[in-house]
Amino acid sequence: MHTIEPHYNWRDYYIAEEDGRSPFYGREYSEFEFTHAIYDHCIHPQWDDIGSQTLFIKILYANYDYGYCIIELIGEWNDLLYNDIMNLKRNIIDSLETEGINKFVLLGEHVLNFHADGNDYYEEWSDEVDEGWIIGVNFRDHVLQEFEAANIDFYIAFGGSFDNFSWRAYKPLQLCQKIDELFTKRLTAYQHEE
């Protein structure tokens, strides 16, 4: 796991530690010293600690004018033992929402497992985005099944066109706009079914 770096090709567009509105503003990273681990596996030092023992993130992009944020995740999303959704919501999301972010893209291909507990923080987050959305992109099938079994998919849109999505082919703003377009189509199709 120590060789898996957060996506770095968008650093010309956004760097969280240089953004005065980011919860990671001013953070410094080592290229050589591994300071974090998920269980007994070291992870690359560029990942950011959110207060969880098993889930780390990287804010790849934030656009306050449009309300977009792209967050890459790595590890085990464990609400049952470590209340990871609380850590994510209170330590990161609340700060971003205060700055006007209401559209969140969660890149989940490096999330290895999900263990559910309650839905309160998901419901709160979903209610707060109001006219926005929370989209999970490229989560593994067994992780999606766990999210669905816990009814988390009621609050975060997963699956369908958000699976096997070639997000790296886009520039960050283009990706957000594409996700927004796909979500709008899905919502329109859902409303027509009713």
Which domains are delineated in the chain?
A: 48-193 (3.30.750.24)
Long-range contacts (CB closer than 8 Å, 24 or more residues apart) made by 121-125:
121/85, 121/86, 121/88, 121/89, 122/85, 122/152, 122/154, 122/155, 122/156, 123/155, 124/89, 125/89, 125/93, 125/155
Counting as low any pLDDT under 70, the low residues of the chain are: 1, 192-194
> Distance between CA atoms of 34 and 189, rounded to whole angstroms?
46
The amino acid that residue 139 corresponds to is F
Measured in whole angstroms, how far is the alpha carbon of residue 41 from the centre of its chain?
A: 21
- Please write the tens of the pLDDT for every residue from 79-89: 999 999 999 99
Q: Which pLDDT score, from 0 to 100, does residue 30 have?
A: 80
Q: Which pLDDT score, from 0 to 100, does residue 1 have?
A: 63
What is the β-pairing status of strands 48-49 and 41-42?
unpaired
Q: Which pLDDT score, from 0 to 100, does residue 189 have?
A: 78
Q: Which pLDDT score, from 0 to 100, does residue 139 have?
A: 97
